[in-house]
Structure 1
Amino acid sequence: MTDTTPTPDALEALPELTQATVSPDGGRVAFYYDATGRNEIHVLDVATGEREQWSDGDAPASNVWPVAWTADGERVLYHHDDGDGSEQRDVYAVDATGETEPIVETDGTTTIRAVGGDGETLLVRSNHDGGMDAYCCDLRTGDRTKLTDTDAPVWRPILSTDADRVAYAGNDADDPNNRDVYVCDTDGEVQRVIELGDRGSSASPKDWGPRDGQLLVSDNTTDVTRCGVYDLAADDVTWFGDADYVEEPQFFLPDGERFVATRKRDATTTPVVYDVETGSGRELDLPDGVAHFGRRSNRVVDDDRILVAYTTPTRRPELLVYDLGDDEYEAVFERDYGPFEPADFVDPVYETVASDGCPETPARALDHDPYETLEIGTLFYDCGRRPSPLVVFPHGGPHLSNRREFDARVQYLCQRGCSVLRVNYRGSSGRGREFARALHGDWGGAEQGDVATATEHVLAEYDWLDEDRVAVYGGSFGGFSALWQLVQYPDLYAAGVGVVAMTDLPDVYENTAPQFQSGFLQTHLGTPDENPGLYRERSPVTHAGNLDAPLLLVHGVNDPRVPVSQARRFRDALLERGYEEGTGADFEYHELAGDGHFGANADGETPLSLLDDFLARRL
């Protein structure tokens, strides 16, 4: 174990590798890597481990969007942005000489989905025409064909191997939760609608089979998401697994006789290989952790080897080449730990806590009758200090979940002497459809009670936790949760931090990007016209006067998802109620210029450095 006390800069300076994708011949891997201080496109030779940097200053500030190889393996497609966090991005190409070329330029948000094996076709998803639709682009001429034109966003469009068909998830039903699979040609003409499950369930395509007669699909009719192979000629689907756990399909193997999926269980994500003919499946032999296969990344090295990004709470993500024939694997790109080593980091305890959504702590904003009692998953990180303050860290999404993977923010807090609690409240992913949809129409209800109940549980379980030094911290929906905890259960917390937090739901509905309005808020809450009382009463700004602990608000000024007006409206509401702003005052407020939702380019200050300073003074 090292003898180092890390700083926010030290942890944030550890280089990140993301969006790894294998070249068409299986010999190289392209990815974003920020060892130079910003994201650049790097290419790794699988056989030798040698790495080259291809781009020089043109790669995006945000590393959450995929890269892709052209069919000939000569160029890498990536997302070019303005670096201001606004999520306006185009598609560029770079080759081994560093020469770049714009491929798709629009005024909106454009995301690479697939490159055709014909070498001519690029499939993207873009909102440049208002909605979030699928487009086919000709790589030779730059011409674009709009494939879809619907009110609801188009999800997960995928391109067939011969590049003449596209499958995507869409919805023409009144139920906003419904998703069916559509198949169209590359002129946009719909060939068929595949209703895989019950009306109101969510189905999605994931990959085309190598012979294009198969579609790898998912559906949650049985509550937990399942994997299926749909035969287009027979108009029939075969389902896999025993429905004990959520399983997400990933990709076919080259023979078309097997496919890879991921299984979610007790905060782990494990790869599974299924045999299409027999239906048998087996888990890959990896330690308890989380496997990542990227956003539309190619992870096939050859017939029996695949690329897996794997991480545990104490090990940063590594790129592994896994041999399916002998269940052996090797790291082809080991992660840089800088001044740290894995033994410096905390391995959390996973357990479940029974919650009816109504903690013992008094509710100050809204009263609720008890909800259905559910087992809520938690990850508790013991920093080792006695006594220890506690930071409660609810995740965003909300349809995400905390898993057994490395998180630099959590580990930083532990190094600083704060124990950390993460809560997979009802509404989180990985537990099935009904668990996720329990949050719909009830933001600020049972899910916030789950967070508070889990906090009460660890305070009672570990008497060395200092109940007078409990903070709550989160971003995006996690920021909403942090603020709601402070106004709903103020007796529980001594400080709070909200980053890009939703505070005023009617205002966020009016000012967010259209795809989040229709595909997110309407699904969860309806519209403000339909449910004005719900939007008003579940907004933290409505109950700002309940704040009874020091608060830090941080927001990027160019956030298109949660506009900066959200932070400003909460700040103004506090000032109107007599709270004082400033260092050491009732609340502290920071807008980050040149920054957006994902914290890509905050000039000097970062949410983590601001959090560090705030907690050092306030907790």
Structure 2
Amino acid sequence: MTKEITLEKLAKMPQVRIVKTNKTKDKIGFYWDKTGRNEFYVLDPKTKNYQKITDGELPRAIRAGYIWLPDSNHIIYTRDKDGNEQHDLFRFNIESRKSEQLTETPKAEETPQDISPDGKYFCFTSTRAGQMNLFKYNLENDEVEQLTDHKAPVWSKAIWANDGWIYYSCNETDNLKNRDIWAVKEDGSEKKLILQVSNDSLEIVSDVSKDGKMLAVSSNAKGVHQTGILNRETDEITWLGEGKYSEQPIEFSQDSKKLLVLRNQEAEVIPIIYDVDSTQGKILTFNGLVFNIHFCLDDNYLIYTRTAPQLPQILALYDLSEWQEHIIIPPQTDLTDEDFYEMEYVKYPTFDDQKIPAILYKPKIEEGKKYPAVVQVHGGPTGQYFQNFDMFGQVFAHNGFVILKPNIRGSTGYGKEFMEMNLMDWGGGDAKDVIHGKKFLEQLDYVDPNRMGVFGGSYGGYMTFIQLTKYADASWNAGSAWIGISRLKTMYDRSRPHFKYFLESHMGTYEENKELWEDRSALNFIENIKAPVQIIHGVNDPRCPIEESRQFKEKLLEMGKKEKEAFEYTEFAEEGHGAFSDIKMRIRTFKLIIDFFKRRL
């Protein structure tokens, strides 16, 4: 490694996000922060040329996507205020470069879902009437009509079929873990249940064939997410694959003869193309993580983003006739794979004999030298670390740290049973998995067991607070809680309806489980804290409200703890639930966390 490799150089690498094809699959849109902020670009896959379309219209931090209109000259996109995720909807004219606001609901979260076949309407999810439900917008007269009134949130993808039905996922059972596939007529006159494999499983709809006769669906009823093709004429399902690994459908080809699927296997995500008639699958042998994938150019190509452990993100076309990848946007850096540290995919034992998968990064090890180590807990808790290019991993390793990124119980990618292991048990078995990650690191001969840190964002911030308080005897030396949760009840009280539903689906209701909620809230154990803690939060965070960090800080002060000694506290006024998708915000967060651990460990 001969090049100068700084935190800024690693953290400022641009990222492509939300790649989508137009209806005819001959134009490709994507968000990209090449200029230093996120803008909308359009790619011509035939010529491989692309151009920047917007100029500052998009929000700094991207939390919601967009949809193409059938004329291929307009998109419907979202914009919020300083990360508060109270998205309004806008129409952008690609030719004139003009933006037009369509909705103004400052207290509601709105996200576009799909366009009607005739292009006169689009459907979107919104909390304007309370719970997240499905609405229809008339592009000719600007009228809005509510289509569904579920008590449970409609927050997954909605698909508008050519036959006038809109398909989506929701739950009408008493089991909050359950989610089924529903359909509503485009005029709102009829709503019906389409698929319920069981009343204790997640069913998701991803696409509908052009003729409306087939739905691409998935269900985890058999233990892992398995892709199926639902025949709407017979209501029969053809399940694809062996059901060994989690597979999620993406879309049908335009001729409806193929189905594109992503398989999540041991923290790698690879594409599979299934033949609809024979149900045979063709695996594309990539390593790392493939995402944002779609058919394009008459189904002869795929467009996607891809990363690997030592390969920063690329945007590429894959020629299905030659089975060859063509890179459109290479890694946006002069660093090469030799400049990046390798990662290891490991599995360590935990308290109940489970094996916890994890990603391990380490700096260049000098013989006889001991290094500080940190455990980074992901958000979710239904999140996952992958075998991809990881900025946090590279930044920490290049700054002399060993970093372990565990997929603790509750993570996705390892089946339904593993994902549900922390239901009614936040801050229990999952917290012990984190502690055993610490023990795993301490057994490595190049790790200094007296310099151990823990950190994470969102649920990872919650876990950091829990580790330093309820599990203070685990002897952490420092912790950084980024956009965390300190007390479950206060977070619930300040949350929007769909976030309240999510928490209850994991921990039950407060009224029936008060003792559990309070036992798994760090604020109730704050008197145990021994290690210095860093607290970072965005003022406009709608998911983990800023008050969660403020009340933790105030309690520390009441206990006589001194700021900058026992704790360090930072608020970002123009930020919400983290801002990893904004380069400047990402760099300043990285700097704060790295600087804290350099001083404290």
TM-score range (shorter-chain normalised) is over 0.9
Aligned to 1:238: 238
**How big is each residue's C-alpha offset from its partner over 1:64-121, in whole Å with a ceiling of 9 and x where there is no partner?**
4222221011123221222x11111122222133111223332311112112332222
Name the SS of the counterpart of 1:293 in structure 2: strand
Who is 2:84 aligned against? Answer: 86
* Residues 1:255 and 2:238 are matched in the alignment: no
Specify the SS of the correspondent of 1:438: helix
Q: How does 1:589-600 map to 2 (within 5 A)?
A: 589-599=569-579
Distance 1:299 1:469 in 2: 49
**Equivalent residue for 1:221?**
221
Residues 291-340 of structure 1, C-alpha deviations (whole Å, 9 max, x = no match): 1127xxx5433222121211112212211112233321211222311x53
Q: Does 1:332 align with 2:328?
A: yes
Matches within 5 A, 1:235-314: 235-286=235-286, 288-293=287-292, 299-314=295-310
Letter in 1 for 2:417: E
Cα separation, 2, equivalents of 1:60 and 1:557: 16
1:419 aligns with 2:402: yes
Distance 2:122 2:103 in 1: 9
Q: Deviations over 1:361-406 (max 9, x none)?
A: xxxxxxxxxxx53221011112114321111101110001100122
Matched, 1:393 2:376: yes
Structure 1 residue corresponding to 2:357, chosen from 355, 377, 396: 377
Is 1:614 aligned to residue 562 of structure 2?
Answer: no
Please give the alpha-carbon distance, in whole angstroms, between the structure 2 residues aligned to 1:436 and 1:340. 37
Deviation at 1:157, TM superposition (A): 4.0
Q: SS of the residue aligned with 2:297?
A: strand
The amino acid of 1:550's aligned partner reads P
Instruction: Report the Cα distance in structure 2 between the residues aligned to 1:86 and 1:197, rounded to whole angstroms.
Output: 36
Give the whole-Å Cα distance in 2 for the aligned partners of 1:522 and 1:310: 35
More displaced stretch, 41-50 vs 54-63: 41-50
Q: Which of these residues, 504, 514, 519, is aligned with residue 522 of structure 1?
A: 504
Q: Tell me, yes or no, if the aligned pair for 2:472 and 2:529 is still in contact at 8 Å.
A: no
The answer as to whether partners of 2:26 and 2:296 remain within 8 angstroms in 1 is no
Say if 2:416 is the partner of 1:433.
Answer: yes
Aligned mates of 1:44, 1:605 — CA distance in 2: 28
CA distance, structure 1, for counterparts of residue 253 and residue 390 of structure 2: 31
- CA distance 1:580–1:485, change in 2 (3 Å): same
Contact 1:393 1:473 in 2 (8 A): yes
CA contact (8 A) 1:182 1:190 kept: no
1:113-128 equivalences in 2 (<5 Å) = 113-128=113-128
Deviations 1:443-481 (A, max 9, x none): 111111111112212321x20111111111100001111
Partner of 2:342: 347
SS in 2 for 1:207: strand
Structure 1 residues 586, 533: CA separation in 2 closer, same or farther (over 3 Å shift)?
Answer: same
Query: Does the 8 Å CA contact 1:54/1:97 hold for their aligned counterparts?
Result: no
SS of structure 2 residue aligned to 1:62:
coil
What is the distance in 2 between the residues matched to 1:15 and 1:414? 20
Give the drift of 1:605. Answer: 8.1
For 1:64 and 1:320, how far apart are their aligned partners in 2? 23
How many angstroms apart in 1 are the aligned matches of 2:220 and 2:461?
A: 29
8 Å contact 1:19–1:63 — kept in the other structure?
A: no
Q: 1:501 aligns with which of 484, 507, 529?
A: 484
Q: Which amino acid aligns with 1:153?
A: P
Aligned CA-pair RMSD: 1.8
What SS does the corresponding residue of 2:314 show, helix, strand or coil? strand
Report the alpha carbon displacement of residue 433 of structure 1 after superposing the two structures with TM: 1.1
How far residue 50 of structure 1 moved from its aligned partner, in angstroms, is 2.4
- Give 1:163 deviation, angstroms: 6.5
Alpha-carbon distance in 2 for matches of 1:211, 1:42: 30
Matched, 1:405 2:404: no
1:151-207 alpha-carbon deviations (Å, 9 max, x no partner): 110132423342611111111111101111111111223353123312211111111
Amino-acid identity (%): 30
Structure 2 distance, partners of 1:66, 1:302, is: 24
2:436 maps to a residue whose letter is: T
| Alignment-derived partner of residue 441 in structure 2 | 458
Q: 1:376 to 1:190 in 2, by over 3 A?
A: farther
User: What does residue range 47-126 of structure 1 map to in structure 2 within 5 Å?
Assistant: 47-82=46-81, 84-94=82-92, 95-107=94-106, 108-126=108-126
1:172-187 alignment runs, 5 A limit: 172-187=172-187
In structure 2, do the counterparts of structure 1 residues 207 and 528 end up closer, same or farther at CA, with 3 Å as the change threshold?
same
Q: Distance in 2 between matches of 1:201 and 1:186?
A: 27
Amino acid aligned to 2:598: A
The one-letter code matched in structure 2 to 1:3 is: K
* Code of the aligned partner of 2:173: A
Contact between 2:159 and 2:206, CA under 8 Å: does it hold in 1? no
In structure 2, distance between residues paired with 1:322 and 1:119: 30
What's the offset of the Cα at 1:426? 0.7
How far apart in 2 are the matches of 1:189 and 1:229?
26
How far apart in 2 are the matches of 1:87 and 1:69? Answer: 21
Verify the 8 A CA contact 1:246 1:430 in the aligned structure 2.
yes
Moved more, 41-50 or 265-274: 41-50
Rounded to whole Å, the distance in 2 between the matches of 1:485 and 1:100 is 47
1-structure distance, mates of 2:76, 2:191:
29
After superposition, the Cα gap between the structure-2 partners of 1:395 and 1:540, relative to the gap in structure 1 and judged at 3 Å, is: same
Contact 2:148–2:184 (CA under 8 A) maintained in structure 1: no
Cα deviation for residue 516 of structure 1 reads 0.2
Give the deviation of 1:559 after TM superposition.
0.5
Q: What SS does the corresponding residue of 1:610 show, helix, strand or coil?
A: helix
Q: Secondary structure at the match of 2:192?
A: strand
CA contact (8 A) 2:11 2:395 kept: no
Give the Cα separation in 1 of the matches to 2:2 and 2:189: 61
Report the Cα offset of residue 12 of structure 1.
3.1
Task: Name structure 1 gaps, 5 residues minimum.
Answer: 357-371
Output the CA distance in 1 between the equivalents of 2:240 and 2:323.
Answer: 22
Task: Give the whole-Å Cα distance in 1 for the aligned partners of 2:510 and 2:195.
Answer: 31
Higher mean C-alpha displacement, 209-218 vs 480-489: 480-489
Deviation at 1:249, TM superposition (A): 1.1
Give the aligned residue type for 2:129. Answer: D
> In 2, Cα distance between the equivalents of 1:299 and 1:64?
24
Is the Cα contact below 8 Å between 1:31 and 1:67 reproduced in 2? no
Counterparts of 1:55 and 1:299, CA distance in 2: 25
Q: Which residue of 2 is the match for residue 321 of structure 1?
A: 317
Paired residues of 2:19 and 2:304 also in contact (CA < 8 A): no
318-327 vs 508-517, which deviates more?
A: 318-327
Secondary structure of the structure 1 residue equivalent to 2:156? strand
C-alpha distance in structure 1 between counterparts of 2:596 and 2:163, whole Å: 53
In structure 2, the partner of 1:197 is 197
Q: State the TM-score, normalized to the length of structure 1.
A: 0.92
Q: Which amino acid aligns with 2:578?
A: F
Q: Hey, which bits of structure 1, 4+ residues long, moved more than 4 A?
A: 600-605
TM-score by length of structure 2 reads: 0.95
Distance 2:20 2:206 in 1: 16
Cα contact 2:110–2:125 (8 A) shared by 1: yes
* More displaced 10-residue stretch of structure 1: 570-579 or 560-569: 570-579
Residue pair 1:49, 1:333 contacting (<8 A) in 2 also: no
